[in-house]
A and B are shown apart, each in its own frame.
Chain A
Amino acid sequence: QSALTQPASVSGSPGQSITISCTGTSSDVHYYDSVSWYQHHPGKAPKLIIYEVSNRPSGVSNRFSGSKSGNAASLTISGLQAEDEADYYCRSYTTFTSHVFGGGTKVTVL
């Protein structure tokens, strides 16, 4: 099972919106509505920010939103803030091996 495909890096200026893509296959992202996104500041525990494609856990800013179309899921961060600078990972349930993560995207706030 190969990792889901994410861009290595995405950047934006404060206040802007950015979108991170997560491309899978018909055996994972396309087949299951079980896509989640995690924010990971190095040295800290990863944090769940989106689950089941587009749901936000309690306490997560509504600046984070998720969507899915076909084999690809997306995470959009609107009103980019300095604190959003982190690594972001998508994860999907998969037919073959239960769970698969994306390779991660480093978000830089310019």
Chain B
Amino acid sequence: EVQLVESGGGLVQPGRSVRLSCAASGFTFDGYAMHWVRQPPGKGLEWVSSISWNSYIMDYADSLKGRFTISRDNAKNSLYLQIDSLRPEDTALYYCAKDRRSYSTDMDVWGQGTTVTVSS
């Protein structure tokens, strides 16, 4: 069974950093692109970032470029998202999602998410 389990969220002060992790199992992790998608409280889904199977291609939502860094460790079957200079508007449920292919197409399996709350 394909499983994605996010971790690393919590209450963080504005201006600080957080690193989210996603542990993958049940599929050949290094064969697929991966994504981060977030959902602010009471709002819809927002694509954050994608990374190809080999980390050669990384994309970010325009409004988030510069503060967000996606990465992966295929040896550890893990995906990461580093968020720097956190702002209150970054408060959201952050989902890790698997792509259908090795390059970015769309998201076919999602985790349950990890919540980041940015507040002093």
Q: Which residues of A contact B (CB under 8 A)?
A: 1, 3, 34, 36, 38, 40, 44-48, 51, 57, 87, 89, 91, 93, 96-104
Contacts and interface: CB of A to CB of B under 8 A. Distances in A.
Interface size class of B (residues with CB under 8 A): 20 to 34
Given A44-B112, A46-B110, A99 B104 contact: yes
A34 B108 contact: no
Nearest to A57: B108
Nearest to B46: A101
B44 A3 contact: yes
Contact of B107 (A3, A48, A103): A48
Contacts, number: 68
Q: Is the interface of A mostly helix, strand, loop or mixed?
A: strand
Contact of B111 (A38, A45, A47): A45
A98 B44 contact: no
Contact of A38 (B45, B50, B62, B100): B45
B106 A51 contact: yes
Contacts of A96: 62
A99 B112 CA distance: 20
Contacts of B110: 45-47
A34 B105 contact: yes
Contacts of B73: none
B106 to A, nearest CB: 4
Interface of B: 35, 37, 44-47, 50, 59-62, 95, 97, 100, 104-113
A97 B61 contact: yes
Contact of B47 (A47, A87, A99): A99
B35 to A, nearest CB: 8
Nearest to B112: A45
Contacts of B100: 51
Contacts of B45: 38, 40, 46, 89, 91, 101, 104
A36, A91, A98 interface centre (most CB from chain B within 10 Å)? A98
A3 B61 CA distance: 12
